[in-house]
Amino acid sequence: MGSNLPSISALLLATLSISALHALIPSHWLTFALVGRAQQWSIGRTLRLAAMAGTGHLVMTVLLGLAVATFGKALARAIPPQVEHLATSLVLILLGLYFLLPALLGQRGCRHHHDHEYSLGETESELSHGASERVRSAGNAPTMMGILVMGMTLSPCLDLLAIFVPAFQLSWPMLLMVGLTMFATTLSIMLTLVWLTMRGMDRLNLGWLERNEGPAVGGLLIAIGVLLLVIKT
Residue 218, helix vs strand vs coil: helix
* Whether the Cβ atoms of residue 145 and residue 116 lie closer than 8 Å to each other: no
**Mean pLDDT lowest among 9-23, 63-77, 106-120:** 106-120
Mean pLDDT calculated for residue range 177-206: 85
**Mean pLDDT, the chain, integer:** 76
Percent of the chain with pLDDT over 90: 21
- What's the rounded mean pLDDT across residues 143-170? 83
42 versus 103: which is more confidently predicted? 42
* Helical packing angle, 30-38 and 43-76, nearest 10°: 150
Domain boundaries, the chain: 5-77+89-230
What is residue 127's predicted lDDT score, i.e. its pLDDT?
Answer: 43
* Global confidence as pTM: 0.72
Q: Give the pLDDT mean for 172-192.
A: 93
Least trusted range by pLDDT, from 11-20, 51-60, 90-99, 224-233: 224-233
- Looking at residue 64, the DSSP 8-state letter turns out to be H
3-state DSSP of 103-146 = HHCCCCCCCCCCCCCCCCCCCHHHHHHHHHHHHHCCCCHHHHHH
Interval 74-132: pLDDT, tens: 876 766 666 666 777 787 788 888 888 877 776 554 444 444 443 333 434 444 444 44
Q: What is the mean pLDDT of residues 156-163?
A: 84
Rounded-to-integer distance, Cα 7 and Cα 170, Å: 9
Once rounded to an integer, what is the mean pLDDT over residues 44-64? 94
Q: What's the rounded Cα separation, in Å, for the pair 144 and 138?
A: 6
Q: Mean pLDDT, to the nearest integer, of 20-27? A: 85
Q: Is the pLDDT of residue 47 over 90?
A: yes
Higher pLDDT, 16 or 136: 16
pLDDT in tens, 25-34: 887 888 898 8
Burial of 36 per CB tally in 10 Å (0-12, 13-18, 19+): buried
Residue 164 has pLDDT above 50, yes or no: yes
